[in-house]
Structure 1
Amino acid sequence: MNAWLSLAVAILAEVIGTSALKASEGFSRLWPSVLVVAGYATAFYFLSLTLRRMPVGIAYAVWSGAGTVLIALIGAVAFRQKIDLAGGIGIALIVAGVLVLNLLSRGGAH
């Protein structure tokens, strides 16, 4: 499997697990709790596949950055959490940092 594809699966699984973590209400609801465990297990498995072909710094920066941005958006849409100006700027800086790391860094996965 392509490193970027396995990283995308890891990100998606982590976002599902984190979203379910909110819905599990402190692991007091069974099915969201099962989804948390399955999501994180899947995320770490696919992240481990990614690390076979990609530097850990790049993989983790993309994984955590994309996950953070997606969770912030899901929080705003699904859980009606507000993203204020500072939060929006922070999210933009995360995206910019991941782009700089991947497009301009010599230590990237190119």
Structure 2
Amino acid sequence: MIKKHWKKILLSLCSMLWSGCSDDSSSDSKELIACELEQICPEYGIFYDCENEEDAIAGNFENCTMSYPACTDTYYCEDDVTCFQSTDDETKTFDCRDEKDNKTVYTEDEFKSKYYVESERIH
């Protein structure tokens, strides 16, 4: 009987093994949550940091350092979490709050392991 039906037996064994090898990897890795980035950059404004305050009052900015106000990056995520990105000494952190105002601070790597940016809006 095995000699007569060996092709069918082999085919059924292969199909059983094949069905066990699913390419659906969602069970192995967690799914990322989408976030939408809203970046607000001021249109006007320059900050002067002067060693002598009188120079700034007089309008003499030769001995002053100039900087522009930074943009504000806010992430609105599908799990009802809002995150604000801040950069401190070249380290990005994300201050996130849920709808009950529970706070969680993520490093950049931690944030990227949980969330991804769906689209960008620049105002």
Could you tell me the TM-score, scaled by structure 2's length? 0.19
More strand by share: 2
* Structure with the greater alpha carbon radius of gyration: 2
Could you tell me the TM-score, scaled by structure 1's length? 0.21
